[in-house]
Amino acid sequence: MYTIGAGGNRGSVCDSSFSISGRTDTLTGTFCLRSSALEFWLITLSPIKRRLVYVTIFEIIAIISSTFVLMLLSNSSAAESLPVAIMVSLAAVIWNFIYNTAFENWERRKQVMQRTFFIRSAHAIGFEGGLVLICLPLYMIWYDVGFIKAFMMEAALLLFFLVYTFFFTLGFDKIFTLPHHYKSASAS
């Protein structure tokens, strides 16, 4: 069951605000009626739902974007690059789950209490290294290219995803807050 609350936002440029709350999710926002624009929109989800929404939106945009990147890198059509982008996306999601499960098990066995810069770096290098090993043969077979060309394609996509992930996560965190982030922001 969801509850809806609404009220004026006095002392602000905006005229009204609202909040829709369920058992584990909250949607809040403030509308600027005078300027006909949305001032801000926060969606608070439970951690599991947040991860699912994150992966879904991230991968949809990633598939579309990487299709265009692969088209440029391979001089191929969208019809030829879209299946590769989907396969790489699927491989990345599966590899992410397997790798992070194994990594967290290793941390638990070694009783790692804090993820230091070194541990985070090792985690990132291990993840990307595994993904390269998965993707290189795919590019070589699908596009009928040699190792060097496939490696260059993967390096270009790696750089693209480095920038894309940073900006996507930045935007995602602005819209989809964690429950404890929303509570601390609304208290101040």
pLDDT tens, residue by residue, 8-22: 444 444 444 445 455
User: Considering only CA atoms, which of 79, 98, 80, 101 is closest in space to residue 90?
Assistant: 98
pTM for the full predicted model: 0.68
57-82 residue pLDDT tens: 999 999 999 999 999 999 999 999 99
122-156 residue pLDDT tens: 999 999 999 999 999 999 999 999 999 999 999 99
